[in-house]
């Protein structure tokens, strides 16, 4: 029996649970003898949202005890690169340290290097910065027309965009058209381990810079560092030790990290930077932050004919990938529905806030939230049940591959079935009956039921997504995987061992998985966007298959039979042939006798993205006196293609759902009108906890994709995509009978109470 | 997130702590459970020159039945209040409220003395002290003095405890068999109250509010309404009277006032008052 599809317990967990993991902050000379006499890096950060720097004086800080050096932009001999590889022009380039002007609170202004962190923090307080305040630019709608420009040379706060305005005739022939402004709020990735890095210059083997960092993409960081310092890629070694989460926030090299490497070279000592939680909440790029104007039209009997989504994305102070994520929002705007006319225009604007970038879901949750709110608004307008309206409009199961109006080609799926499974598991009709009873009885605790269908894109946006894998089998019969996809909680060691075991029969505990070290793994892309298994796992699948073929060749010689006769028993890892029964050779013999290194590498290149999909149903209770919503149930159907390990997949779903529910109910990064961050710690930001989360009810569904050898799609982000609109719709549904039509995210108690007050006032 | 440097003195008796305070004056700060003070130190919002650690004064950690009242040592941890059989019998409001403070880590470290002496209007236990009409025992260079809860909370993060003094004991009237309720409205289970209401039934019912002013406050108007025979719903309408709630990220003034009314009505109803 194949091990694939079984609940293999994660082999990487005992180490983590016993506290044996080594994070960047733990590293010392036991990890590398050069890590003695570390210098410590502390940043002076802007305390204001927008200003020119009238004076920057480091003299006093330089005299402080333990200070090795203090540097500002004037000291840097590094050239800032074009934005997103040149997708944006030179007018909006980000300097590594503020160059005479600051554009958000938390922006690095100067860097202090000291013998201890404490001395560094003390000295940083002595750096004198005189700011001439400029008007802050807060809020995307204000930013579009603001007189104050973040980059005057650029001539506008709008930096990028996709698509066009809705054509005039888009809604022709619609009986009903509903329009609404909705907000998809800004979130913080907030991984449990903040950012950090250690840089050491000099060493053997032609490696000039060794850089340990908490990252999702060791190879990408390696290339960026090499490019910035003008080094060959091989001259930089990047190591991601244990990484305590990323959620998209550790996908690329940040200025603070680059500066740490620069400083180490400048002072001629190994240097370490570890950010505090308060720095992290302003430093790790934020996610989401879109304002939508949506319009949806159709017939009175519930057929949707046209949909337009207008997206304003907050890119923060320096446009980065966040300015381009609306590409995904646009691509996925149509959701799971067969809609004849769809248009979507996106514009990204800069504001005086932390830059935005990918956060679990990255552009797709926003699309799902918009279309799912639109469906409910439309259902309410034509007075039909939200499930009925969705059923009427879902793309039929026989329509795949299906190309949407915004250009996505969905590979495979069965959306009506996903919804049907969710409806059945939730007991939807019974829930509606109970709701009706409670409403009739005037229960002050209102019950709400929310539905969301979703489809998302993984391993995209187009063809050509790559990942590298090498498998080596040693003469003792053990195997080592070198994967370019470096894990930070996803369970690669287990999943990759399962693939190797399934194809070779080598026991899982004899498979070592190596990742996150550019000196050991010759190529790689990384772990983000739910890509690892389908791209990196497929690469390993191919590399392993090639090695098995070679094993068969050698075994045929050893057994003195035709290759065609050789069978590999993938339970025991032995080769045999019927004509020589009784004889069998193991991998150890095969490798030993082959007389050459037994290793194969493969770079898997995708031909098309995959489109995971599902349906979520949430049940909430809303205290109509206080406005507080409580999630009671969450039923989730998530189809991510063939499942390699249900235990890992369920873990990803529970985690994603937790973050999705958090967006619906609790979390929000906030700024005041002056651009001061108001949620710069975990008390104010308020990550959701287990106490607010019922155990999600996970319904299995598997539709293997034909586009890769594993049949797998991505599962890492589905939870954040389906859960948010399901819960949001449920909260609105709970108070709909009291006159509330829409609630923005997050549906906090005060927001719900306020909407109820307004509805009561309107009802007179 | 690194405190400014300070000297550290560990006191092994109340006398030693007082001596250290006398020596260093208002340069010094007492450190009990550290769960209010340490965050302030890390953010450098408090920069004392000397920390006098009273965290190990085990002889100030007790819950005693003292006949007509209960005596609770200032260094008693929230967790001990939560689990006390004496409190369960004679003052369940205190045990229950302590159970709602923060999360288990916070409750294992934080002390009732620190909670009261810090004077945070968002803290839970000060409202219990007001509702139960507790008496604070303060020890200073000239010996002991007592201060009624009503006179204890002087301003934002300010109490009657002077820089050279130590809060040593809190005396709670027994409330054996009396009804009570604590309503804590939170965003997440582990959070501080957005608004809270403590109600202690008995001969003279007490009602106090959390996060409705710059100090913990008694809901005097509610108590007066009850005394004049108002029902719970009517009495609760007076909850915001005399309070001065501040807006913050979680709640506007209007919402706080609304919550105070709703929670007070619920607390009174749960305690069968009014
Ligand atoms: C994450 C988190 C969540 C929390 N949630 C809640 C909550 O929900 N509800 C709540 O009520 N509290 C909450 N707290 C605060 C917690 O209850 C603290 O323990 C309490 O407020 C202070 O007690 P402490 O012993 O830790 O005092 P410390 O922090 O040591 O001291 C606080 C102040 O009181 C002074 N002090 C301490 N003891 C004495 C004494 N005996 N005499 C004179 N002065 C003294 C100190 O000098 C200092 O100024 C939370 C704290 C944290 C970190």
For residue B13, tell me if it sits in a domain: yes
Residue B75 has pLDDT above 80, yes or no: yes
How remote is the CA of residue B107 from the centroid of ligand 1, in Å? Answer: 10
B242 and B257 part of one domain? yes
B80 and B102 part of one domain? yes
B125 and B199 part of one domain? no
Whole-Å CA distances, B236 to B93, B250, B261, B262, B267:
19, 22, 5, 7, 9
Angle at B128 between CA B127 and CA B134, to 5 degrees: 110
For residue B89, tell me if it sits in a domain: yes
B162 and B207 part of one domain? no
Domain limit, last residue, from B131, B155, B173: B173
Q: Give me the pLDDT at residue A1, please.
A: 80
Residue B230 has pLDDT above 80, yes or no: yes
Residue B274 has pLDDT above 80, yes or no: no
Q: Give me the pLDDT at residue A460, please.
A: 87
Domains: count for chain B:
3
**Contact assignment for A748 to B187 by CB distance below 8 Å:** yes
The pTM is what? 0.97
CA distance A111 to A127: 9
Which of B185, B253, B255 has the highest number of chain A CBs within 10 A, making it the mutation to test binding with A?
B255
CB A340 within 8 A of CB A663: no
Ligand 1 site-directed mutation target among B45, B59, B118, B168, most atoms within 8 Å of CB? B118
Answer whether B216 contacts ligand 1 (Cβ < 6 A): no
Q: Which of A79-88, A251-260, B112-121, B153-162 has the lowest mean pLDDT?
A: A79-88
Whole-Å CA distances, A244 to A129, A284, A537:
34, 14, 22
Which of A43, A185, A625, A627 has the highest number of chain B CBs within 10 A, making it the mutation to test binding with B?
A625
CA distance B181 to B204: 15
Q: Looking at the DSSP assignment, which residues form a beta bridge with residue A129?
A: A56
Cβ contacts of B184 on chain A, cutoff 8 Å: none
ipTM score: 0.96
Instruction: Enumerate residue ranges in chain A where pLDDT < 70.
Output: none
Answer whether B115 contacts ligand 1 (Cβ < 6 A): yes
- Least Cα separation, residue B60 to chain A (angstroms): 30
Q: Give me the pLDDT at residue A582, please.
A: 84
Q: Report the phi/psi class of residue A37: left, alpha or beta, with left for phi > 0 and alpha for psi in -120 to 50.
A: left
Answer whether B101 contacts ligand 1 (Cβ < 6 A): yes
**Contact assignment for A666 to B187 by CB distance below 8 Å:** yes
Name the residue with the closest Cα to ligand 1, atom 10.
Answer: B123
For residue B128, tell me if it sits in a domain: yes
For residue B119, tell me if it sits in a domain: yes
CA distance A397 to A417: 8
Q: Give me the pLDDT at residue A205, please.
A: 80
CA distance B210 to B220: 14
Dihedral over Cα of B176, B180, B186, B188: its sign: positive
CA distance A644 to A492: 11
**Contact assignment for A686 to B1 by CB distance below 8 Å:** no
**Cβ-based neighbours of A77, under 8 Å, separated by 6 or more:** none
**Contact assignment for A626 to B259 by CB distance below 8 Å:** yes
For residue B260, tell me if it sits in a domain: yes
Answer whether B98 contacts ligand 1 (Cβ < 6 A): no
B63 and B166 part of one domain? yes
B263 and B246 part of one domain? yes
- Least Cα separation, residue B257 to chain A (angstroms): 11
CA distance B149 to A64: 47
CA distance B247 to B268: 25
Cβ contacts of B255 on chain A, cutoff 8 Å: 750, 753-754
Phi, psi (5° rounding) for residue A423?
-60, -40
Domain limit, last residue, from B113, B144, B173: B173
Phi, psi (5° rounding) for residue B104?
-55, -40
| CATH number for B23 | 3.30.43.10
Can you tell me which atom of ligand 1 is nearest the CA of B165?
A: 43
For residue B18, the enclosing domain spans 7-53
Closest chain A residue by Cα to residue B265: A625
Which of A626, A673, A677, A761 has the highest number of chain B CBs within 10 A, making it the mutation to test binding with B?
A626
Q: Give me the pLDDT at residue A261, please.
A: 98
B154 and B187 part of one domain? no
- Least Cα separation, residue B256 to chain A (angstroms): 9
**Contact assignment for A754 to B251 by CB distance below 8 Å:** no
How remote is the CA of residue B97 from the centroid of ligand 1, in Å? Answer: 15
**Structure tokens of A363?**
């552009």
Phi, psi (5° rounding) for residue A619?
-120, 125
Give per-residue pLDDT as tens, A282-321: 999 999 999 999 999 999 999 999 999 999 999 999 999 9
Closest chain B residue by Cα to residue A668: B249
Q: Which residue has the tokens 């293997």?
A: A704
Residue B272 has pLDDT above 90, yes or no: no
DSSP string, B144-172: EEEEEHHHHEEETTEES--TT-EEEEEEE
Q: Which residue has the tokens 């002077």?
A: B162
For residue B125, tell me if it sits in a domain: yes
How remote is the CA of residue B14 from the centroid of ligand 1, in Å? Answer: 18
Answer whether B163 contacts ligand 1 (Cβ < 6 A): no
Of A121, A670, A750, the CB nearest to B255: A750
Q: Quick one: DSSP state of residue A399?
A: G
Radius of gyration of chain A (CA): 28
Angle at A511 between CA A507 and CA A515, to 5 degrees: 155
Closest chain B residue by Cα to residue A677: B249
Of A666, A684, A750, the CB nearest to B251: A750
CA nearest A234: which of A224, A251, A222? A222
CA distance B153 to B149: 7
CA distance A321 to A358: 7
B211 and B138 part of one domain? no
**Contact assignment for A691 to B191 by CB distance below 8 Å:** no
For residue B2, tell me if it sits in a domain: no
- Least Cα separation, residue A413 to chain B (angstroms): 37
Answer whether B102 contacts ligand 1 (Cβ < 6 A): yes
Q: Give me the pLDDT at residue A8, please.
A: 96
Answer whether B192 contacts ligand 1 (Cβ < 6 A): yes
What domains can you pick out in chain A, each with its CATH number? 1-33+192-245+250-283 (3.30.365.10), 37-131 (3.90.1170.50), 287-460+609-763 (3.30.365.10), 466-605 (3.30.365.10)
| CATH number for B236 | 3.30.390.50
Q: Which residue has the tokens 């797709």?
A: A364
Q: Which residue has the tokens 């514009």?
A: A347
Residue B1 has pLDDT above 80, yes or no: no
Kindly give the residue spans of alpha helices, DSSP state H, lying in A622-687.
646-665, 682-685
How remote is the CA of residue B109 from the centroid of ligand 1, in Å? Answer: 9
Give per-residue pLDDT as tens, A719-744: 999 999 999 999 999 999 999 999 99
Residues 3-32 of B with CB under 8 A from A: 4-5
Q: Quick one: DSSP state of residue B249?
A: S
CA distance A397 to A386: 20
| CATH number for B167 | 3.30.465.10
Listed in order, strand segments (DSSP E) in A624-716 are 629-639, 697-699
Q: Which residue has the tokens 């890492």?
A: A716
- Least Cα separation, residue B1 to chain A (angstroms): 6
Question: Could you tell me how many helices (H) and strands (E) chain B has, helices first?
Answer: 12, 14
Give per-residue pLDDT as tens, A132-142: 999 999 999 99
Cis before residue A746, ω within 30 degrees of 0? yes
For residue B1, tell me if it sits in a domain: no
Question: In this structure, are strands A304-316 and A287-298 parallel, antiparallel, or unpaired?
Answer: antiparallel
Q: Give me the pLDDT at residue A293, please.
A: 98
B201 and B232 part of one domain? yes
Q: Give me the pLDDT at residue A522, please.
A: 96
B152 and B77 part of one domain? yes
CA nearest B18: which of B131, B105, B144, B204? B144
Domain limit, last residue, from B131, B157, B173: B173
Q: Give me the pLDDT at residue B273, please.
A: 86
Can you tell me which atom of ligand 1 is nearest the CA of B103?
A: 3
Which of A106, A112, A753 has the highest number of chain B CBs within 10 A, making it the mutation to test binding with B?
A753
Dihedral over Cα of B22, B23, B28, B30: its sign: negative
- Least Cα separation, residue B15 to chain A (angstroms): 33
Mean pLDDT score, B78-84: 98
CA distance B223 to A635: 46
> Does B45 touch chain A if contact means CB atoms closer than 8 Å?
no
B141 and B100 part of one domain? yes
B68 and B117 part of one domain? yes
CA distance A557 to A550: 11
Give per-residue pLDDT as tens, A488-543: 999 999 999 999 999 999 999 999 999 999 999 999 999 999 999 999 999 999 99
């Amino acid at each position: 029996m194949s091990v694939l599809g079984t609940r293999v317990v994660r082999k990487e967990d005992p180490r983590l649970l016993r506290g044996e993991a080594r994070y960047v902050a733990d590293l010392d000379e036991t990890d590398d003898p050069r890590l003695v006499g570390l210098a410590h890096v502390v940043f002076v950060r802007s305390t204001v949202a927008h200003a020119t720097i009238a004076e920057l004086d480091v003299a006093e800080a330089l005299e402080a005890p333990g200070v090795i050096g203090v540097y500002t932009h004037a000291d840097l001999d590094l050239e800032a690169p074009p934005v997103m590889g040149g997708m944006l022009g030179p007018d909006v380039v980000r300097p590594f340290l503020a160059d005479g002007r600051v554009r958000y609170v938390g922006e690095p202004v100067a860097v202090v290097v000291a013998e201890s962190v404490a001395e560094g923090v003390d000295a940083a307080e002595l750096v004198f910065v005189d700011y001439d305040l400029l008007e802050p630019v807060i809020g995307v709608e204000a930013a579009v027309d603001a007189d104050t420009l973040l980059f005057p040379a650029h001539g506008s706060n709008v930096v990028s965009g996709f698509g066009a305005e809705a054509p005039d005739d888009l809604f022709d022939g619609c009986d009903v058209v509903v329009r609404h402004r909705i907000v998809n709020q800004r979130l913080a990735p907030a991984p449990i381990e903040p950012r950090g890095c250690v840089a050491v210059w000099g060493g053997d083997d032609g490696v000039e810079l060794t850089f340990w960092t908490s990252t999702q993409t060791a190879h990408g960081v390696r290339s960026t560092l090499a490019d910035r310092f003008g080094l060959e890629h091989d001259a930089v070694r990047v190591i991601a030790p244990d990484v305590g989460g990323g959620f998209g926030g550790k996908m690329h090299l940040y200025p603070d990290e680059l500066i740490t490497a620069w400083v180490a070279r400048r002072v001629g000592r190994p240097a370490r930077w570890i950010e505090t939680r308060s720095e992290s909440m302003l430093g790790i790029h934020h996610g989401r932050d879109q304002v939508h104007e949506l319009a949806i039209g159709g017939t009175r009997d519930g057929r949707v004919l046209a949909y337009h989504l207008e997206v304003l994305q907050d890119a923060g102070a320096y446009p980065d990938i966040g300015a381009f994520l609306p590409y995904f929002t646009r691509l996925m705007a149509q959701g799971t529905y067969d809609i004849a006319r769809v248009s979507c225009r996106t514009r990204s604007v800069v504001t005086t806030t932390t830059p935005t970038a990918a956060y679990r879901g990255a552009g797709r949750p926003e699309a799902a939230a918009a279309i799912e709110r639109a469906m409910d608004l439309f259902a309410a307008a034509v007075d039909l049940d939200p499930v009925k309206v969705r059923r009427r409009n879902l793309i039929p199961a026989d329509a795949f591959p299906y190309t949407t109006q915004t250009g996505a080609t969905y590979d495979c799926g069965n959306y009506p079935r996903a919804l049907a499974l969710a409806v059945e598991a939730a007991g939807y009709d019974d829930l509606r009956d109970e709701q009706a009873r409670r409403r009739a009885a005037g229960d002050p605790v209102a019950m709400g039921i929310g539905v969301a269908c979703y489809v998302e894109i993984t391993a995209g946006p187009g063809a050509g997504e790559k990942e590298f894998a090498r498998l080596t089998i040693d003469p003792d019969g053990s195997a080592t995987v070198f994967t370019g996809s470096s894990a930070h909680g996803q369970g690669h060691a287990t999943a990759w061992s399962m693939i190797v075991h399934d194809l070779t029969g080598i026991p899982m505990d004899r498979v070592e998985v190596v990742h996150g070290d550019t000196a050991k793994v010759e190529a790689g892309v990384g772990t983000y966007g739910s890509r690892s298994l389908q791209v990196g796992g497929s690469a390993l699948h191919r590399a392993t298959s090639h090695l098995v073929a070679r094993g068969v060749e050698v075994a045929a010689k050893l057994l003195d039979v035709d290759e065609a006769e050789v069978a590999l028993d993938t339970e025991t890892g032995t080769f045999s042939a019927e004509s020589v029964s009784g004889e069998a050779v193991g991998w150890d013999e095969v490798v030993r006798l082959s007389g050459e290194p037994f290793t194969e590498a493969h770079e898997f290149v995708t031909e098309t993205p995959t489109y995971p999909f599902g349906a979520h149903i949430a049940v909430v209770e809303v205290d109509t006196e206080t406005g507080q919503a409580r999630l009671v149930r969450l039923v989730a159907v998530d189809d991510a293609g063939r499942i390699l390990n249900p235990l890992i997949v369920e873990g990803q779903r529970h985690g994603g759902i937790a973050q999705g529910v958090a967006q619906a109910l609790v979390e929000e990064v906030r700024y005041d009108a002056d651009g001061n961050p108001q949620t710069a710690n975990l008390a104010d930001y308020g990550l959701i906890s287990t106490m607010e989360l019922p155990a999600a009810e996970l319904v299995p569904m598997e539709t293997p994709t034909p586009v890769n050898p594993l049949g797998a799609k991505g599962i890492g982000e589905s939870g954040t995509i389906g859960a948010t609109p399901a819960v949001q719709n449920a909260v609105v549904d709970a108070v709909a009978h009291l006159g509330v039509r829409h609630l923005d995210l997050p549906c906090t108690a005060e927001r719900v109470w306020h909407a109820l007050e307004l509805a009561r006032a309107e009802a007179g | 997130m690194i405190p400014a440097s300070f000297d550290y003195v560990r006191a092994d008796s109340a006398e030693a702590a007082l001596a250290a305070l006398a020596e260093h004056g208002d340069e010094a700060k007492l450190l009990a459970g550290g769960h209010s003070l340490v965050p302030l130190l890390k953010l450098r919002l408090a920069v004392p020159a000397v920390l006098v650690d009273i965290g190990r004064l085990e002889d100030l950690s007790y819950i005693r039945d003292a006949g007509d009242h209960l005596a609770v040592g200032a260094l008693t941890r929230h967790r001990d209040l939560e689990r006390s059989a004496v409190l369960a019998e004679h003052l369940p409001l205190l045990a229950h409220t302590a159970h709602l403070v923060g999360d288990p880590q916070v409750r294992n470290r934080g002390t009732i003395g620190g909670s009261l002496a810090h004077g945070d209007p968002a803290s839970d236990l000060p409202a219990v002290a007001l509702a139960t009409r507790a008496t604070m025992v303060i020890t200073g260079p000239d010996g002991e003095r007592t201060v009624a809860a009503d006179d204890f909370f002087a301003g934002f993060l300010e109490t009657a405890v002077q820089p050279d003094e130590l809060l040593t004991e809190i005396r709670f009237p027994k409330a054996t068999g009396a009804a009570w309720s604590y309503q804590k409205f939170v965003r997440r289970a582990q959070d501080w109250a957005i608004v809270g209401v403590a109600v202690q039934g008995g001969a003279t019912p007490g009602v106090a509010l959390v996060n409705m002013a710059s100090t913990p406050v008694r809901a005097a108007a509610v108590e007066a309404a009850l005394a004049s025979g108002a029902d719970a719903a009517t009495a609760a309408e007076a909850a915001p009277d005399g309070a001065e709630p501040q807006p913050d990220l979680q709640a506007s003034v209007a919402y706080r006032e609304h919550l105070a009314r709703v929670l007070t009505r619920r607390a009174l109803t749960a305690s069968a008052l009014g």
